[in-house]
């Protein structure tokens, strides 16, 4: 029986991995799986060797403070993978964890094929990493076509599979009347998938809602949560007693809520592409402590945080980062857009033109599953 070990480091990677693996499982029933994952892989009946939350760190200082714990988890994961002895180690995103594990595994057992989904953003920072990847990666799956040149240069096998957040997905229609007031317009809010992000951004977004409610009464505010942070968000909302705020974690309902939104306030990251694909105008927000921001600022090569802005080399989607990421600035920016519909149309038009350039013709998870399946056949 062939074996696959699935290695993820955060909820978004867990979700991406589950979409690929579910397609493989539909075609192959003769496979054995083990993982480091979360709720999405768990729903596929795949056991995780430990709770993914134990290795979900975002900031440099978080990593430094938990260095010994992370190192122990890396070594523990390597040990479990070697014990499982898979044919394929399928790692997804979170390169500072997953690729360190993959490198150690490959060094000890070169017979294990290593496939990594979501190439590290070497076009943003640390381009020199690519040379090292060649030593331990058999194949890398790219979300953007322009990334190929970085890996072709080092003769690393790679495949452009497209971005999963740009796929059209058919959702089962669910009535939203018991969730939101039909007479009010929806503004979607994204406070991040990691607890460390939510702890910083949630108070800012709640203060933004307060400002909006003082001036307007026609909006519903919907937090798009994960299974990991939904209770945290709900607990904070209860303290304020809002009557026009909801928290949704069901993927199908979140998708419908988003498609019915007139605007979105979004944590910087890959989720912003999902908002773009839904043709919802938005702004980007992000905040971290000063030390982390100083380190990031000194390392990154790009002027912008959002991929749409990076590709266009201009601010198509406004970015409120660090000191600008506060309730008053968010309020000011959102209200400005809401009062200028032509500005929202212009943003969506520019986004659509950009997405046409970076979309794959097929499903990202389908293309990724094809590559993994080919290695199972060798």
pLDDT of residue 186: 96
Domain for residue 7, yes or no? yes
Q: Are 199 and 121 part of one and the same domain?
A: no
CA dihedral of residues 12, 16, 17, 23 (deg, nearest 10): 150
Q: How many residues does the chain have?
A: 378
Q: Which residues of the chain have pLDDT under 50?
A: 58-61
Whether residue 268 sits in one domain with residue 145: no
Beta strand residue intervals within the chain, DSSP E: 2-8, 31-36, 88-92, 113-117, 139-142, 158-160, 185-190, 219-224, 245-248, 261-267, 282-286, 319-321
Q: Give the pLDDT score at 292.
A: 63
Residue 175: inside a domain: no
Task: Look at residues 34, 36, 42 and name the one whose alpha carbon lies nearest to residue 55.
Answer: 36
230 plus 100 within the same structural domain: no
Same domain? 192 vs 341: yes
The verdict on 265 and 349 lying in the same domain is yes
**CA 92 → CA 36, 207, 291, distances in Å?**
10, 35, 27
User: Same domain, yes or no, for 46 and 148?
Assistant: yes
- Assigned domain for 27 exists: yes
- Phi and psi, residue 284, nearest 5°: -105, 135
Provide the domain limits for residue 217. 185-358
> In this structure, is residue 135 part of a structural domain?
yes
Which one-letter DSSP state was computed for residue 352?
Answer: H
Residue 232, Cβ neighbours under 10 Å: how many?
A: 16
Do both 368 and 312 map to the same domain?
A: no
∠ CA 274-360-87, rounded to 5°:
95
CATH code of 108's domain: 3.40.50.2000
């Amino acid at each position: 029986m062939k074996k696959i070990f699935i290695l993820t480091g955060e909820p978004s990677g867990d979700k991406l991995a589950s979409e690929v693996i579910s397609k493989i499982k539909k075609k192959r029933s003769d496979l054995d799986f083990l993982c480091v994952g979360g709720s999405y892989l768990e729903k596929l009946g795949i056991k995780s060797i430990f709770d993914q939350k134990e290795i979900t760190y975002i900031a440099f200082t978080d990593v430094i403070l938990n260095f010994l714990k992370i190192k122990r988890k890396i070594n523990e994961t390597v040990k479990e993978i070697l014990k499982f002895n898979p044919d394929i180690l399928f790692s997804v995103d979170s390169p500072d964890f997953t690729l360190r594990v993959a490198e150690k595994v490959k060094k000890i057992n070169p017979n294990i094929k290593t496939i990594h989904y979501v190439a590290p953003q070497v076009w943003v920072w640390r381009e020199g990493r690519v040379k090292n990847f060649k030593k331990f990666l058999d194949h890398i799956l790219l979300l953007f076509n322009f990334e190929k040149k970085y890996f072709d240069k080092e003769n690393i096998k790679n495949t452009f599979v497209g971005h999963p957040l740009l796929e059209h997905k058919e959702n089962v229609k669910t009535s939203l009347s018991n969730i939101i007031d039909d007479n009010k317009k929806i503004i979607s809010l994204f406070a991040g998938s990691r607890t460390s992000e939510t702890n910083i951004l949630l108070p800012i977004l709640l203060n933004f809602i307060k400002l909006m409610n003082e001036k307007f009464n026609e909006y519903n505010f919907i937090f798009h949560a994960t299974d990991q942070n939904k209770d945290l968000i709900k607990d904070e909302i209860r303290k304020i007693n809002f009557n026009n705020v909801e928290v949704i974690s069901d993927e199908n309902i979140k998708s419908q809520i988003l498609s019915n939104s007139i605007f979105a306030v979004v944590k910087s990251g890959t989720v912003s592409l999902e908002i773009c694909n839904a043709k919802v105008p938005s702004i980007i927000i992000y905040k971290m402590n000063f030390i982390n921001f100083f380190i990031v600022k000194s390392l990154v090569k790009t002027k912008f945080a959002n991929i749409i802005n990076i590709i266009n080399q201009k601010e198509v989607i406004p970015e409120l980062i660090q000191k600008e990421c506060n309730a008053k600035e968010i309020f000011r920016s959102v209200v400005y857009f809401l009062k200028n519909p032509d500005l929202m149309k212009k943003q969506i038009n520019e986004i659509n033109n950009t997405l046409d350039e970076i979309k794959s013709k097929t499903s990202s998870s389908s293309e990724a599953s094809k590559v993994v399946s080919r290695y199972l056949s060798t």
